[in-house]
Amino acid sequence: MTGRTQGLLGLAIGIAVVIALPLVVKSSFAIDIFIRILLFSFIGVAWNLMGGYAKQLSLGHAAYFGLGAYTSTILQIDFGISPWIGMIAGGLVAMLASLPIGWLCFRLRGPYFTIATIATAQALMLIFLKFRDLAWGAEGTTIPNLGSAPLMMQFETKSAYYYVALGLLALGLAITYLIERSWMGYYLVAIGEDEDAAEAIGVNAPRIKRDIYLISSFLTALAGTFYTQYIYFIDPATAFSFNISIEAALVSIVGGIGTLWGPVIGTILLETTSTLLQSWLGGSIGGVQLTVYSLILMAVILWRPTGLMGMMREAWQRFASRKPARA
Amino acid sequence: MWETVAQAVINGLLIGGIYALVSIGVTLIFGVVKIVNFAQGEFVMIGMYISFFLANQFGIDPLLSLFVSMPVLFVIGVLVQHFLIRRVLGPNDMPQIFLTFALSLLLLNLALMLFSANYRTVHTSYSDEAFHVGGLYIPVAKLIAFVVAMVLSGALWVFLHTTDLGKAMRAAAQNRDVATLMGINPNRVFCVALGIALALAGAAGSLLMPFYSAYPFVGQVFVLMAFVAVVLGTLGNVIGALVASLMMGVAESLGIQFVGADSGLIVVFAMLLLTLAFKPTGLGGGRAR
């Protein structure tokens, strides 16, 4: 078998497994964890487009998560518009917001770009906290529970949410796959390697960065809408939580920055670790989860900057080179 | 009216001295080692907890515990440079940003696990004392903190400009390769830079303790302020960071006085965004990188 057919076979088996998973696993605790894995993989995939390929290391993606969440919730509660439409509207609002934010932040490079993105996300959170007329202030609001209302993105079974999250992740991966193989993907990698050199050979770096930021913020906003519908609650502290920004970057770096499957692998590792820790320690001690996450992150940076994807590729190459060469 | 303004300016300048200690550390590390230390605020927190425990267990005045927190943090700085940062120095931004970011997350959450999220305070004999000058009110603890902060900043300036090691640090900041050719050992210089920067953060922590509560997230307040001040004061410029920090303190204090008690952060973000929009190279000019 060639590598390509092997890859396709693996992908087909993988798809069959993830589609069948909720049919086999009935525990709602387990499905809840699967949904978290799918959702954070998706957020990681959205971050990775900009942070991974173009190395624009944002720690402010909560801004778009929050804007998506608030747009669809305001449309639903104040105007009775379905969150399915609100989700797209939220994506568009996020894209609009990414233009001025990008205009400001892309003036800085490296660490100061990162700091500027943190500040913009925090500023948005403060706006939603301070201006009570805008949207419920600090108390937030609960989403009215309509029972089974698929048209309003409300389902009675957890497995329905599972398939929505799976659909989002599939969308994110498909977009990443297409971009990776297009001229844009090569431009992104060129900017990530050395922005000045990329510009010297004719890459319009400001435009490419703006465009990828638009796509990345649109996708992140979809996740915000889904999450709010899933937990039936919104407030500035959850919608614009710094932890969202951290986890988006963390799963990509741990899994393998700038790779298609990196964010997915990273999320599986981190979420599994966090679930195991919570079941051992009872989740009573604050700070345990992020302590472990930060240790994993430091270990990856110091010993395996290519992440788990890089480790797996090396292991596979060692394994493959041990076999006798075929004619 | 002008008395209210003058009082707000004084309050701002006094706390600005503390911001300056944090900012100078950030800008020193950026200038010499060319990395941004996201964990600088957590070292302020460690300084505060050192002073808190010394006061609580042994009754040592927080200002005296400066002589413990500064050396302890200097050593931590040398270790952080030698065992962590040294390994990620290179052309790649990602490991540098996320290593110190991971360190910040780690220290913050370790503090949360070890000390819980409770606010810790130390009450000293001078915590509630104040001078009254005209109609103005100058708290003693804040005035001491400001004076010590200015003395330490001045001492750093003298060190950088008169001693061989200080000159070597400035040389490494200007051009690392040429400095290495001149026989300067970059790792040794970097270790000293990290040590001094962290010692300043520790000093800020001890100086804060008589009038500010220690809690695991306390560093975030100061590091955010420091990042803005460092951009505003032109990256890597010690005097710029000092002046910008004092300005930030005054701006924040005026914001609290005239906009509302919880508007301090909004003023900080507004200043950061305005700086980025109109003067991304900082007030002193030069090139942002």
Summarised one tens digit per residue, pLDDT across range A4-19 is 788 888 888 888 888 8
Retrieve residue B185's tokens: 């050992």
Round the average pLDDT of chain B to a whole number and report it. Answer: 86
In angstroms, the CA A51 to CA A47 distance is 6
Spatial contact of B201 and B43, defined as CB atoms under 8 Å apart: yes
Q: Which residues of A touch B102 (CB under 8 A)?
A: 294-295, 297-298, 301
* Nearest partner of B248 among B211, B217, B282, judged by Cα: B282
Q: Does the beta-carbon distance from B288 to A302 stay under 8 Å?
A: no
Query: Does a structural domain hold residue B279?
Result: no
Of B94, B110, B273, the CB nearest to A291: B110
* pLDDT at residue A50 tops 80: yes
Query: Does A132 lie at the interface with B, CB-CB under 8 angstroms?
Result: no
Of B94, B105, B111, the CB nearest to A57: B94
Segment A114-118 shows an average pLDDT of 86
The residue segments making up the domain with residue B167 are: 22-218
In angstroms, the CA A82 to CA A146 distance is 12
**Within 13 Å and on the Cβ side, how many CA atoms surround B207?**
28
List pLDDT tens digits, range A277-286.
877 876 566 7
Segment A112-139 shows an average pLDDT of 82
Interface of B with A (CB under 8 A): 35-36, 38, 84, 87-88, 92-99, 101-103, 105-106, 108-113, 116-117, 216, 224, 227-228, 231, 235, 262, 265-266, 269, 272-273, 276-277, 280, 288-289
In angstroms, the CA B289 to CA B285 distance is 12
Segment B120-138 shows an average pLDDT of 81
Segment B9-36 shows an average pLDDT of 90
Strands, E assignment, chain B: 130-133, 136-139
Query: Does a structural domain hold residue B270?
Result: no
What's the whole-model pTM score? 0.86
* pLDDT at residue A301 tops 60: yes
Percent of chain B with pLDDT over 70: 94
Retrieve residue A171's tokens: 């969308």
Q: Does the beta-carbon distance from A290 to B288 stay under 8 Å?
A: no
Round the average pLDDT of chain A to a whole number and report it. Answer: 86
Segment A41-59 shows an average pLDDT of 91
Under the banding of pLDDT at 50, 70 and 90, the label for residue B288 is: very low
Q: Which amino acid is at A56?
A: Q
In angstroms, the CA B155 to CA B149 distance is 10
- How close, in Å, is residue A316 to chain B by CA atoms? 25
Under the banding of pLDDT at 50, 70 and 90, the label for residue A114 is: confident
Query: Does a structural domain hold residue B37?
Result: yes
- Mutation pick from A115, A130, A131, A270 vs chain B, by most beta carbons of B within 10 Å, is A115
For residue B65, give Cα distances in angstroms to A22, B58, B69, B152, B212: 59, 11, 6, 15, 15
> Which range, A77-86, A90-99, A255-264, A294-303, is most confident?
A90-99
Retrieve residue B158's tokens: 């003298």
Q: Does the beta-carbon distance from A290 to B277 stay under 8 Å?
A: no
Q: Does the beta-carbon distance from B98 to A57 stay under 8 Å?
A: yes
Total number of domains in chain B = 1
Retrieve residue A155's tokens: 């389902």
Spatial contact of B7 and B252, defined as CB atoms under 8 Å apart: no
* pLDDT at residue B289 tops 50: no
Under the banding of pLDDT at 50, 70 and 90, the label for residue B41 is: very high
The CA radius of gyration of chain A, in Å to the nearest whole number, is 20
Q: Does the beta-carbon distance from B276 to A105 stay under 8 Å?
A: yes
Q: Which amino acid is at A32?
A: D
Retrieve residue A124's tokens: 């948005």
The per-residue pLDDT for B205 is: 93
Under the banding of pLDDT at 50, 70 and 90, the label for residue B287 is: very low
Of A253, A286, A305, the CB nearest to B113: A286
Query: Does A112 lie at the interface with B, CB-CB under 8 angstroms?
Result: yes
* pLDDT at residue B241 tops 70: yes
Q: Which residues of B touch A108 (CB under 8 A)?
A: 231, 276, 280, 288
Helices (H), A181-287: 183-193, 195-200, 205-231, 236-239, 242-255, 262-281
* pLDDT at residue B283 tops 70: no
Query: Does A109 lie at the interface with B, CB-CB under 8 angstroms?
Result: yes
Spatial contact of A35 and A42, defined as CB atoms under 8 Å apart: no
- How close, in Å, is residue A189 to chain B by CA atoms? 13
Tokens 């590729």 appear where?
A313
Range of weakest confidence among A6-10, A206-210, B41-45, B279-283: B279-283
Strands, E assignment, A126-190: 141-142
Q: Does the beta-carbon distance from B276 to A104 stay under 8 Å?
A: yes
Q: φ, ψ for residue B163 (rounded to 5)?
A: -90, 160
